[in-house]
Amino acid sequence: MRENQTNLQKLEIPIQGMDCAECTRHVQQAIAALPGVQSVEVFLTSEKAVVHFDPSLVSLPIIQQAVQKAGYQVPTQVESAKLTYTPTSKRLNAFLVFVFAFVIFVVVFGEWLGFFDKLNELVPRPLGILAVLLAGMPVFRNAIAATLRKQISSHSLMTLGAVAALFVGEWVAGAIVVVFMYVGTTIERFTAQQARQAIQALASLVPQTACVERDGNEIHIPISQVQPKDLVIVKPGEKIPVDGIVLSGQAVLDQSSITGEAMPLEAVKGSFVYASSLVKSGSLRILTERVGEDTTFGRIIKLVSEAEANRGEVQRLADRFSAYYLPIVLGVAGLTFLFSRNLLATASVLVVACSCSIALATPIAMLASIGVSAKRGIVIKGGKFIEVLAQATVVLVDKTGTLTIGKPQITDIVPLNGMSPDELLAYAAAAERYSEHPLAEAVLEAATAKGLSIPPAQQFESQSGLGVRARVMGSLIEVGSARFLSQTQKLSVAAQLKEQGKTLLYLAIDGKPSAVLAASDRLRPEVAQALKELRHLGIQHIELLTGDNERAAQAMASQLQIPARANLLPEDKIAIVKAFQAQGKKVIMVGDGVNDAPALAQADVGIAMGVAGSDIAIEAAHIALLREDWRLVPDLLRIARRTMDVVRMNLIFTAVYNLFGLSLAALGILPPTIAAAAQSLPDLGILANSARLLNEKQALSAH
């Protein structure tokens, strides 16, 4: 068994013709039935199947043949299935208005004013029946093929409804059923297209060509031909096509497509830049490191396009119900005919229940939110995490790099010898100039920020973990810990600074204690407001978990008015997450995505912050925030709850509508013509309701 696992191959197959969840289920069943296929996921939004299979038992042509037998097309070229984006907001509104107006026209003008009755009298019945059969043949053929494959589809029910209408001589009713077969199919295709829209909008941001320098010449080539180590030239107004390092040039970049942050960023020699970033001014020569799907942006698109694989419980219930829904309708139709002997009423039952709205109610809303969130720098890996996020009551947070900037800064300089703080800082910076310790960097940055002149140092000496010595302007300067400078142990000012959770450096000049420098990691400025918003949103418990010492943890926690646990190992954090889960609570863990990876994976929803460019962090978390901005965390809760509200509205609307329609049809109140028109409305309602989630202008918080 282990050998078979090793030999498994992964294959992505583009598939055309899928319109709703029912279609993806048919394709999945067809591929999964093949010997040698271990697993298969079919994605409606990206129109593809991802198959893990044993090549010794099954081949690509056999898989493609199975898809085609299921009634769907496999493009001969993978490129033909690539996403293209066309703005659709105006088209969506026009489409909704047109279909609704057409339904009203059929119901009012055709049925209530008796136009269909007159048409039935004027046109000879054989001619009408022939017209219905010819017009409906493509759909009838699909229904028959599905039946032969032992599948029941919405077209199967509508075909039965049309045949029943023809059988009792109501050819006009049969014609209206055929017309709305096509209307329903169009709605389903358009609805699926709307689910793809946000992902297509992302894909459209990637340049399709690149200007590459080869043999001293600049040539434009398709992005698929760019290789790692190629030199790419990007000019003003162009988008960067690759991930890479700037070799020369200077430019102002808009990286909002990656991080969702509109603030311009300056790129200079040595900067790492990302594909899809816009060069607003300047130009760059970039050494390519990653291309296509391997870029950070490519990975984001891939994760978002495959997010529907992670279905939430609500969606799984809807999928299971959809599998039984059509047989239930057949049963209701059978009972209607058994008790009423009314073939038209039976036909109406079959026709009115043909909508795919139950299967569409959840995924359309989920995928709309996932796609739009990705454009704001939030990568959500599936509807499952949206659903759980909406139910969460506990938020656990890491300290370093999550609540804080992740970089120590000098906060206090306390003179002990009468010299000014700036003089003392300049001496400390001179001694620390050649040290690689993070605190040395903090000292140098503080001196640079103040514009101090840093004198040269000679006879530099470093003792790992203790401190440094150097000769500066003829004096012996020592900077280090209390263990390095033992005479500083009993300084009262040091005890006060330690109580605040700060890390101390001691400065001695010619052996005499001269200053205490305190450093701490700075709290992100937006954290306090973000935590306040989380409490307002109903989060009952927020707690700090850190591997830092008790003093630092409590100092940070007191600022934020939350409890804290310190000196934690990764396994300790996992145990805390499990303890909350054992109480039945849904737990969110927020970390930096690297050292917190185990706890992020254990949490019901793991959120990694500021992970642009970090493959490990993007893979570790269930949700990745591509920029370091705590305001995105309460935004996430709002997105999740708003999405679940839309899903609940979709499901309630669909359930009530179908129950009402089936009841009227079974009682003979709803004729087949109106039933055919009515079956298109649930899909339309779900599309209109879910489309609200595509509106990026509805800000979730004031940023």
Most confident region among 2-6, 354-358, 654-658 by mean pLDDT = 654-658
In angstroms, rounded to a whole number, what is the distance separating the alpha carbons of residues 402 and 527? Answer: 9
Strands 394-397 and 503-509: unpaired
The mean per-residue pLDDT over the stretch 47-54 comes to 85
The mean per-residue pLDDT over the stretch 74-100 comes to 53
Q: Which of 188, 180, 134 is nearest to 157 (CA)?
A: 180
268-281 per-position pLDDT tens digit: 888 888 888 888 88
Q: What is the CATH number of the domain that holds 484?
A: 3.40.1110.10
Lowest mean pLDDT among 414-423, 462-471, 682-691: 682-691
Reading the block at residue 238, the tokens are 């162009």
CA 638 to chain centre: 15
Q: Are residues 190 and 330 in the same domain?
A: yes
Query: Is residue 204 included in any domain, yes or no?
Result: no
User: Percentage of the chain with pLDDT > 90?
Assistant: 20
Query: Is residue 438 included in any domain, yes or no?
Result: yes
Burial of residue 333 (CB within 10 Å: 0-12, 13-18, 19+) is buried
Q: Is the pLDDT assigned to residue 262 strictly greater than 60?
A: no
Q: Is the pLDDT assigned to residue 319 strictly greater than 90?
A: no
Lowest mean pLDDT among 44-53, 75-84, 252-261, 327-336: 75-84
Residue 517: its pLDDT value, please? 92
In angstroms, rounded to a whole number, what is the distance separating the alpha carbons of residues 182 and 159? Answer: 12
Residue 698: its pLDDT value, please? 47
The mean per-residue pLDDT over the stretch 457-475 comes to 87
Distances (CA, A) of 50 to 42, 460, 649: 6, 59, 31
Residue 2: its pLDDT value, please? 39
609-654 per-position pLDDT tens digit: 876 555 666 676 788 888 888 999 999 999 999 999 999 998 888 8
Residue 612: its pLDDT value, please? 59
Residue 86: its pLDDT value, please? 42
Binned at pLDDT 50, 70 and 90, residue 87 comes out as very low
Q: Are residues 353 and 373 in the same domain?
A: no
- Taking residue 616's Cβ as centre, other Cβ atoms within 10 Å add up to 12
Q: Are residues 380 and 476 in the same domain?
A: no
Binned at pLDDT 50, 70 and 90, residue 192 comes out as low
Binned at pLDDT 50, 70 and 90, residue 80 comes out as very low
Look at the chain and report how many structural domains it folds into.
5
Residue 352: its pLDDT value, please? 81
Query: Is residue 702 included in any domain, yes or no?
Result: no
In angstroms, rounded to a whole number, what is the distance separating the alpha carbons of residues 694 and 373? Answer: 9
Catalytic residue among 398, 548, 592, 629: 398
Question: 19: domain range?
Answer: 2-81
Q: Is the pLDDT assigned to residue 455 strictly greater than 80?
A: yes
479-533 per-position pLDDT tens digit: 988 777 766 656 778 888 877 778 888 999 998 889 999 988 788 889 999 999 9
Residue 20: its pLDDT value, please? 64
Which has the higher per-residue pLDDT, 119 or 28?
A: 28
In angstroms, rounded to a whole number, what is the distance separating the alpha carbons of residues 92 and 39? Answer: 36
User: Percentage of the chain with pLDDT > 70?
Assistant: 81
Residue 202: its pLDDT value, please? 65
Helix ranges (H only) for 376-514 are 383-391, 421-432, 438-449, 492-499
Lowest mean pLDDT among 346-355, 364-373, 606-615: 606-615
Query: Is residue 301 included in any domain, yes or no?
Result: no
Q: Are residues 338 and 380 in the same domain?
A: no
Residue 487: its pLDDT value, please? 65
Q: Is the pLDDT assigned to residue 577 strictly greater than 70?
A: yes
Q: Is the pLDDT assigned to residue 700 strictly greater than 60?
A: no
Query: Is residue 475 included in any domain, yes or no?
Result: yes
Q: Are residues 418 and 469 in the same domain?
A: yes
Residue 21: its pLDDT value, please? 63
Query: Is residue 300 included in any domain, yes or no?
Result: no
Query: Is residue 295 included in any domain, yes or no?
Result: no
Lowest mean pLDDT among 66-80, 210-224, 487-501, 555-569: 66-80
Total residue length of the chain = 703
339-353 per-position pLDDT tens digit: 888 888 888 888 787
Q: What is the 3-state secondary structure (H, E, C) of 508-576?
A: EECCEEEEEEEEEEEECCCHHHHHHHHHHCCCCEEEEECCCCHHHHHHHHHHHCCCEECCCCHHHHHHH
Q: Is the pLDDT assigned to residue 67 strictly greater than 70?
A: yes
Residue 48: its pLDDT value, please? 81
Residue 277: its pLDDT value, please? 86
Final residue belonging to a domain, choices 81, 105, 126 = 81
The mean per-residue pLDDT over the stretch 680-703 comes to 66
Reading the block at residue 541, the tokens are 């418990």
Q: Are residues 398 and 435 in the same domain?
A: no
Q: What is the CATH number of the domain that holds 40?
A: 3.30.70.100
Residue 562: its pLDDT value, please? 93
Final residue belonging to a domain, choices 488, 522, 556 = 522
DSSP letter string over 179-198?
A: HHHHHHHHHHHHHHHHHHHH
Q: What is the CATH number of the domain that holds 549?
A: 3.40.50.1000
**Sheet of strand 9-14: strand arrangement:** 9-14, 48-53, 37-43
pTM to 2 decimal places: 0.71
Q: Are residues 440 and 584 in the same domain?
A: no
Q: Are residues 601 and 624 in the same domain?
A: yes
Final residue belonging to a domain, choices 472, 488, 522 = 522
Binned at pLDDT 50, 70 and 90, residue 4 comes out as very low
Q: What is the mean pLDDT of the chain?
A: 80
Q: Are residues 397 and 528 in the same domain?
A: yes
Lowest mean pLDDT among 218-232, 412-426, 606-620: 606-620
Quote the DSSP letter at residue 122: H
Q: Are residues 646 and 627 in the same domain?
A: no
Q: Are residues 188 and 317 in the same domain?
A: yes
In angstroms, rounded to a whole number, what is the distance separating the alpha carbons of residues 21 and 153? Answer: 11
Residue 46: its pLDDT value, please? 67
Q: Are residues 102 and 160 in the same domain?
A: yes
**Is 398 one of the annotated active-site residues of the chain?**
yes
Query: Is residue 302 included in any domain, yes or no?
Result: no
**At 104, which helix (H) or strand (E)?**
helix 89-105
Burial of residue 297 (CB within 10 Å: 0-12, 13-18, 19+) is buried
139-157 per-position pLDDT tens digit: 788 777 777 767 666 677 7
Residue 173: its pLDDT value, please? 75
